[in-house]
Amino acid sequence: MDIALVMQFWVVAVMLALTPGADWAYAISAGLRARSIAPSILGMIAGYTVVIVAVALGLGALVTAYPVTLTTLTVVGALYLIFLGATTLASRPAPIAESGEPIATGGWGQFLRGSGVSGINPKGLLLLLALLPQFTSPNGWPSTTQMLALGGLHLLNIAIVYTTVGLLARRLLRTRPRASSVVTRIAGIAMTVIGVGILIEQVLEWM
């Protein structure tokens, strides 16, 4: 692998992980509403793992051959973000539990939601489809292996960033129930707005 390309990808991947979006909104929501953020973070990592493997194994070629595939994935992802945002807004904010099971859903439910947030996040999918092939070298390792390695670097980035976001949300807002409620609502609004915005983009493209 070309070390220069790896470092360039790492810089881009860090900037992407540091950009607030649906993943941040879910990490904050998990930090405020659940006893442990681990299931949510692991779920998001699992979702991105599936996307990275799919891209490395040829999803890009499939999308090129059948553009409707990407459109379908984008619409499904947008609808899921709207669903998560709406359920977050509809739920009654509760204080962070000191013990027991995670609030609102069990650990498995949190994991699945996290997987959905990242696995069918249209923006994340599009970025990985566009970025991973660009940073592979024609020399050395096979392109599939290179994309898997770069994807692993991206997973490390998001694990660190999203865990930090969730823990900071919990630590800074734990003793501020009103602020916690406001931030949870903002997270719900953010997921809803992002989902609606993506749907509008798709409708405009069809017109």
| Token pair recorded at residue 10 | 């790492």
Note the pLDDT of residue 44: 92
Measured in degrees and rounded to the nearest 5, phi and psi for residue 18 equal -85, -5
Q: Cα separations (Å) of 26 from 37, 41, 82, 93?
A: 10, 9, 12, 14
* Range of weakest confidence among 41-45, 53-57, 96-100, 152-156: 96-100
Instruction: Tell the burial category of 13 from Cβ atoms under 10 Å away from its Cβ (0-12, 13-18, 19+).
Output: buried
pLDDT at 174 over 70: no
Query: What is the pLDDT at residue 105?
Result: 59
3-state secondary structure of 150: helix
- Is the whole-model pTM more than 0.85? no
More confident residue, 56 or 187: 56
78: its two tokens: 């947008």
Dig out the tokens for 156 from the structure. 């490390």
| Position with higher pLDDT, 150 vs 125 | 150
> Which tokens go with 131?
């970025």
The pLDDT assigned to 163 comes to 93
- pLDDT over threshold 60, residue 104: no
Q: How confident is the model at residue 51 (pLDDT cuts 50, 70, 90)?
A: confident
Of 113, 126, 101, whose CA–CA distance to 23 is shortest? 113
pLDDT in tens, 36-50: 889 999 999 999 998
What pLDDT score was predicted for residue 122?
Answer: 66
Question: Lowest mean pLDDT: which of 21-30, 98-107, 118-127?
Answer: 98-107
